[in-house]
């Protein structure tokens, strides 16, 4: 396992975070758009709307990131994090970087008083599913997830 330094990203990290976020979007078949990725991540960071964990190697090169959105569980009446984005650069895969980011996300959630972490992943992303389950994540077999796109009015 390659060790990484994982820390909370700041606006000073916007360029490498945006590059990783753009690559993450491309992984999910979205077209490259570094300007969009940069603007989106800058807004989240400036507005304090998410926590971005950044993994770097000993030389400071960005290897991966994880983005956590604060929200709530109404049934438990407690705050949670939605782990919405997790990405490891191809050159850093297979070295345990994703696991390190997941463990850092868990610690961040504990440190911020969250009662739970939730995430969703593509049904076809079997490597990620195996990693989650190996770290004790439990797949929901009770609830279905739904979404509905909101289109702009004509």
CATH number at residue 89: 3.40.630.30
**Residues 69 and 81 sit within 8 Å (Cβ to Cβ):** yes
Looking at the domain assignment, is residue 54 inside a domain?
yes
Longest CA–CA span in the chain (Å) reads 52
Mean pLDDT for the chain?
94
Looking at the domain assignment, is residue 72 inside a domain?
yes
Half-sphere exposure of 70 (CA within 13 A, CB side): 16
Looking at the domain assignment, is residue 80 inside a domain?
yes
Question: Which residue range(s) make up the domain with 89?
Answer: 5-134
- The percent of residues above 70 in pLDDT, for the chain, comes to 97
- The pLDDT-based confidence of 154 (bands split at 50, 70, 90) is low
pLDDT digits (tens, 9 = 90+) for 22-31: 999 999 999 9
CA distances for 147 relative to 69, 87, 144, angstroms: 17, 22, 10
Angle formed by the axes of helices 34-46 and 14-27, nearest 10°? 120
Looking at the domain assignment, is residue 20 inside a domain?
yes
φ, ψ of residue 117 in degrees (nearest 5): -115, 135
**Residues 88 and 98 sit within 8 Å (Cβ to Cβ):** yes
Q: What is the mean pLDDT of residues 133-152?
A: 90
Q: How many domains does the chain have?
A: 1
Looking at the domain assignment, is residue 10 inside a domain?
yes
């Amino acid at each position: 396992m390659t060790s990484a330094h994982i820390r909370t990203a700041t606006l000073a990290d916007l360029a490498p975070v945006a590059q990783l976020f753009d690559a993450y979007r491309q992984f999910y078949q979205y077209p490259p758009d570094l300007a969009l990725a940069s603007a989106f991540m800058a807004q989240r960071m400036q507005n304090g709307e998410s926590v971005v964990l950044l993994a770097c190697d000993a030389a400071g090169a960005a290897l991966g990131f994880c983005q956590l959105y604060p929200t709530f569980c109404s049934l438990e009446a407690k705050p949670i994090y939605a782990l919405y984005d997790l990405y490891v650069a191809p050159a850093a895969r297979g070295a345990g970087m994703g696991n390190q980011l997941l463990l850092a996300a868990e610690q961040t959630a504990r440190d911020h008083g969250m009662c739970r972490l939730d995430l969703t992943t593509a049904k076809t992303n079997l490597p990620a599913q195996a990693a989650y389950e190996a770290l004790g994540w439990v797949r929901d077999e009770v609830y279905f997830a739904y979404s509905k796109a909101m289109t702009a009015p004509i």
